[in-house]
Structure 1
Amino acid sequence: MTEQIPVQPVRQVHLLLVDDHPLVRDGLRARLETIASIRIAGEAGTAEEALAIAASAPVDLILMDINLGTGNGISLTARFKTEYPHIAVIMLSMHEKTEYVNQSIQAGARAYVLKDAPAVEIIEAIDTVIAGGTYFSSGLNRQTASSDAGQLLTQREQSILKCIATGKSNKHIARELGLSVRTVETHRLNIKRKLNIEGQADLIRYALSNVIV
């Protein structure tokens, strides 16, 4: 008799869609509700509706538009960070300007994805944020994503970037900052994501060109 291996249930992410355009929400729902790991917890067109849903239903993650007609998605993100810190926010926006990216991150957003991004990129952003990381749309210009690293990076990440600029290895950085090597590696990955940098060589070049040591 063959032993039956129990199938592990898929952990679902409860996702709230916040956009003041019903057609946009319909499109997002159509893209995402076919994915087994995603459950649409609700839709909101205003800040008040979004807060009401968060207060009455389980929500893990929000896809948030910046322009909400009568409200502002960046301000609403900051409010969620204060009132519902367990809920992660992905900013889904048509704006590519640095000021919007920086303001969103400062408000507490964990990712910034352009609305015209392919569905696979939105799903990748969701997976990355749920895993604890940060994500920036590949459609963002390198200059847009990295022109103000001081606002995008935490103090710890800036310290690590400065160490990278001086040529220190992960082991040396870990020893200097009192961290584990694994933690340094995680910070390096987050720095690359925030600055929209792909490879280690590009990260080193960026550090050498932009960091005063």
Structure 2
Amino acid sequence: MYKILLADDHPLFREGLRARLSLEDDLDITAEAENGKQAWELLNNDDFDLVLMDINMPEMDGMYVLELIKEQNIDCKVLMLSMHDDKEYILGAMRHGANGYILKDVPGNELIAAIKKVISGKSYFSSEVTEILSNELSGEQKAILTRREQLVLRLISQGLSNKRIAQELNVSVRTIETHKRNIKQKLDIETTIGLVRYAIDYGLDK
């Protein structure tokens, strides 16, 4: 059974979410907080697998609690729940280390899927959030890479081997390996799988 802390200042929302999660055998809201200060105190006195946290809360907002969680290396995943689809909120949550960001009006099944995915160690961003991120970040990331590196990354994301990419671009395998190494360094990604995920997440695979 996974232990979940729910932090939101709207009692009716907490009640509805608690009722929905009670239908899941492996998810349990073991504590609730109506403001950021309470959430932080609970995090310091108990262990949780996941925090479901609103951004706008009294006394201490969710973004600040998220920052504290990451600064203090608290072993707990964080899924931000918000009505805000503004890019400033979304990018802020990402920069502070949120494992996911989902809008409060998503269907219940999607919310459950998001919770389970984040608990499993993966990230989750609702479709609306992903579109905003793609539009905002793809241009920034493309600017980091040269045109040739962008092309190599796109071919990598399509599952092509170094040898096949070299054939496609009419260059040596060693040249592709050099491009690949440079891309990893620029994006601070260690594995090829990481490059593929990155390209897909930020629309660099097309």
Q: TM-score, normalised by structure 1?
A: 0.72
Q: Supply the AA of the counterpart residue of 2:151.
A: A
Change (3 A) 1:83 1:46: same
Pairs within 5 Å for 1:41-190: 41-140=30-129, 142=131, 144-149=132-137, 163-166=149-152, 167-169=154-156, 170=159, 171-172=161-162, 175=177, 176-177=180-181, 183-189=191-197
Q: Supply the AA of the counterpart residue of 1:33.
A: S
Segment of structure 1 superposing worse, 40-49 or 169-178: 169-178
Structure 1 unaligned segments of length 5 or more: list them. Answer: 1-11, 198-202, 206-213
- Root-mean-square deviation over aligned CA pairs: 3.0
Report sequence identity in percent: 32
More helix per residue: 2
Equivalents in 1 of 2:4, 2:148: separation in Å?
37
Equivalents in 2 of 1:118, 1:148: separation in Å?
25
Equivalents in 2 of 1:15, 1:163: separation in Å?
42
Structure 2 unaligned segments of length 5 or more: list them. Answer: 166-175, 185-189
Equivalents in 2 of 1:42, 1:69: separation in Å?
18
Q: Supply the AA of the counterpart residue of 2:205.
A: I
Equivalents in 2 of 1:36, 1:162: separation in Å?
49
3-state SS of 1:76 partner: helix
Segment of structure 1 superposing worse, 125-134 or 169-178: 169-178
Equivalents in 1 of 2:205, 2:65: separation in Å?
36
Segment of structure 1 superposing worse, 125-134 or 36-45: 125-134
State the match for 2:168 in structure 1: none
3-state SS of 1:204 partner: coil
3-state SS of 2:75 partner: coil
Number of equivalent positions: 179
Q: Is the 8 A contact 1:63 1:92 kept in 2?
A: yes
Q: Supply the AA of the counterpart residue of 2:97.
A: G
Equivalents in 2 of 1:47, 1:94: separation in Å?
17
Aligned mate of 2:7, from 5, 13, 18: 18
Write out per-residue CA displacement over residues 7-32 of structure 1, whole angstroms, 9 at most, x where no aligned residue: xxxxx221100001111111111111
Write out per-residue CA displacement over residues 19-70 of structure 1, whole angstroms, 9 at most, x where no aligned residue: 0111111111111122111121200011221122112222111111010023
Equivalents in 2 of 1:177, 1:44: separation in Å?
45
Q: TM-score, normalised by structure 2?
A: 0.74
Q: Is the 8 A contact 2:37 2:59 kept in 1?
A: no
Change (3 A) 1:165 1:74: farther
Q: Supply the AA of the counterpart residue of 1:204.
A: D
Equivalents in 1 of 2:27, 2:51: separation in Å?
12
Equivalents in 1 of 2:205, 2:49: separation in Å?
35
Q: Is the 8 A contact 1:18 1:63 kept in 2?
A: yes
Give, in angstroms, the shift of residue 164 of structure 1.
Answer: 5.0
Equivalents in 1 of 2:117, 2:94: separation in Å?
15
Q: Is the 8 A contact 1:62 1:90 kept in 2?
A: yes
